[in-house]
Structure 1
């Protein structure tokens, strides 16, 4: 009996993994749509509505090509031509891989500076505006000394753009910072990395922050949203609040079987069963950048508790290297983190849309008060990219 058990159980487990792997292979890189959104192409903004403002949401673009061949930045050029001066480019953090902008003499400095200059040039040549916010990589991957690393990047951006609101929130403070993009459309920027950062985090007037107790941040955010229920509010931060990807605890079968690929993609050493320990840990306890980590979990809980009081919000983050949309309690939550890297995203769950592809989301605000979301991905056949999802939000 024991022999049959030792044979049947591994065979069933391997069969399940093989089937799951086949399913993942079948839908990876293909867009997923909630059933009610399958016919999204039939829905378009009213032709007589004037575009008042357009926001391009570019997440995790820190590995951008610096020789002019970057496919996402070529798509952005097309968006710039369409939006003109009525556009805002928002870089959602992880603007420079791997560790932000280090000091002069560091072995990563030349590459980092070239990548940041590429992003800055895309703003300088554009009549609209550009806004940066910091992600975990910009904060030295969340390690000690991250604040100094972030300030170095902020100073560099402000010096080269000469625009007062080009890096928000200022000084590495938690925020919230707000900017009126158009009549009826407000942008709110939150420094989500502050809440999960290890080591020093600025707070208080000594560091240019408006308050010395983090509880005042949540009170300020709640008051800000309460004062602006008459208009649409676009909130941006680096970390997503909903995700069907790595930082939300979702892993591929390959990652369960070959866990060492987390260190390097060539470490294809099969470790069945034992290999599931790492994904289980990330899902249940989490690294500092995961939703399951206690700091991230606490931040997410506090933010959602506030957001669920309102129904005029759109929250956009990056962090996970894919494109996702969720609709929860009347608000919309977007992941726009595939500006330069790609990672697996699981279909279904609470997501209305998901795709593993390079690209970004655009939020368009029209004269009739309507707000439409678009998802654009790169294409081998067109520099303007492909529109793969559109929805009124």
Structure 2
């Protein structure tokens, strides 16, 4: 009996880990499609002449290459060229790694400024309409002094683009902020970092925020959605509400065996069984940036309670460094967080699509009331030589009710 426990059980456990690792290795960086969407390439797309407006949703671009070789920025450049007249680029937070825009003299300041200026120069070159959101890294990784980091980045971007509305919501307030993009198409921006931020965060007239109590935000958001149920609503935020990746509590077998790689990828010290404590903690209790953390969980629950009352919402976030799509109760939830980094995403579950590759999401709105999702992956090369590869396409919604004016 003792031999059974000392040899056979550990052997079976190791075999299970090896098999699981092999299964993960097979689909890493390969697209997963829900069975109903496997034949997506055969679905006819409306013609470009019918396109009314396009949104490029880029998340977590904070580590872009600054020498002109960045594959995501080069792919984004193609979108800019094709949508100069009626398009907007939405940057979904974590615009600068590792700690946002530090003060002058900080060791990360020069690189952060160079990365941010690379993006801003490209936007200005094509005169691309844009709006930036903030993420946890823009708030100095959520540390108590993060509010000043966010304000510094907001000031830099709005002054560089000469547009005070290019950073939303203003002053780090929770929002919601609305931008009417076209008839029947409304963009709503919310600052989800507010809920999980430690230390100072703005609320009330002292900070030029419209509310003194966060409950007023939820009332305003619900009122806004109710009055605009006649049109498509795109909600942009940093934190996802559904995710098959790290912040949703999903970890690789490698992360269970080598937990110290969370600190540095070269710390390949095997800690089987003991190493699972860290992933289990992140899954069930969570860091501030995880769905399982009590503050994040509370925010997510309240938002979903409101969103589930409607069926005209597309919610797009970054945070997890991959590409994902979920459909829940008639609404759509997207993760577009692989703007400059990639990380593991688990296939299956309730996801319609998942992929661990650099890229971004576009949402195209057509004159017949359709809104289509396209997921673009970035490949090495210049904008002239790299193919514009759409790895997934899906019609999300059609507005069929009369487009009456909101009350």
- Name the CA distance, whole Å, in 1 between partners of 2:128 and 2:161: 12
Deviation at 1:48, TM superposition (A): 7.4
Q: Deviations over 1:222-268 (max 9, x none)?
A: 00000000000000100000000000000000000000000100000
Q: Deviations over 1:85-134 (max 9, x none)?
A: 21100000000000000111111110010011111112111233010000
State how many pairs are aligned. Answer: 393
Aligned residue number for residue 157 of structure 2: 157
User: Residues 137 and 385 from structure 1, CA distance in 2 versus in 1: closer, same or farther, beyond 3 angstroms?
Assistant: same
Deviation at 1:376, TM superposition (A): 0.4
Question: Quick one: which of 388, 392, 395 aligns to 1:389?
Answer: 392
- Name the CA distance, whole Å, in 1 between partners of 2:306 and 2:345: 27
Aligned residue number for residue 191 of structure 2: 191
Aligned residue number for residue 211 of structure 1: 211
Correspondence 1:78-157 to 2 at 5 A: 78-157=78-157
Gap regions ≥5 residues in structure 1: none
Aligned residue number for residue 9 of structure 1: 9
Correspondence 1:226-237 to 2 at 5 A: 226-237=226-237
Deviation at 1:164, TM superposition (A): 2.8
- Name the CA distance, whole Å, in 2 between partners of 1:209 and 1:389: 39
- Name the CA distance, whole Å, in 2 between partners of 1:35 and 1:263: 37
- Name the CA distance, whole Å, in 1 between partners of 2:294 and 2:48: 48
Q: Give the match's secondary structure for 1:101.
A: coil
Gap regions ≥5 residues in structure 2: 397-407
The question of whether the paired residues in 2 share the 8 Å contact of 1:49 and 1:367 is answered with no
Deviation at 1:43, TM superposition (A): 1.2
Aligned residue number for residue 376 of structure 1: 376
Structure 1 stretches of 4+ moved >4 Å = none
Aligned residue number for residue 402 of structure 2: none
Aligned residue number for residue 69 of structure 2: 69
Q: Deviations over 1:278-301 (max 9, x none)?
A: 000000000000000000000000
Aligned residue number for residue 43 of structure 1: 43
The question of whether the paired residues in 2 share the 8 Å contact of 1:78 and 1:384 is answered with no
Q: Give the match's secondary structure for 2:233.
A: strand
- Name the CA distance, whole Å, in 2 between partners of 1:109 and 1:306: 40
Deviation at 1:49, TM superposition (A): 5.5
- Name the CA distance, whole Å, in 2 between partners of 1:380 and 1:163: 32
Aligned residue number for residue 293 of structure 2: 293
Aligned residue number for residue 29 of structure 2: 29
Aligned residue number for residue 344 of structure 1: 344
Q: Deviations over 1:282-326 (max 9, x none)?
A: 000000000000000000000000000000000000000000000
Deviation at 1:8, TM superposition (A): 1.2
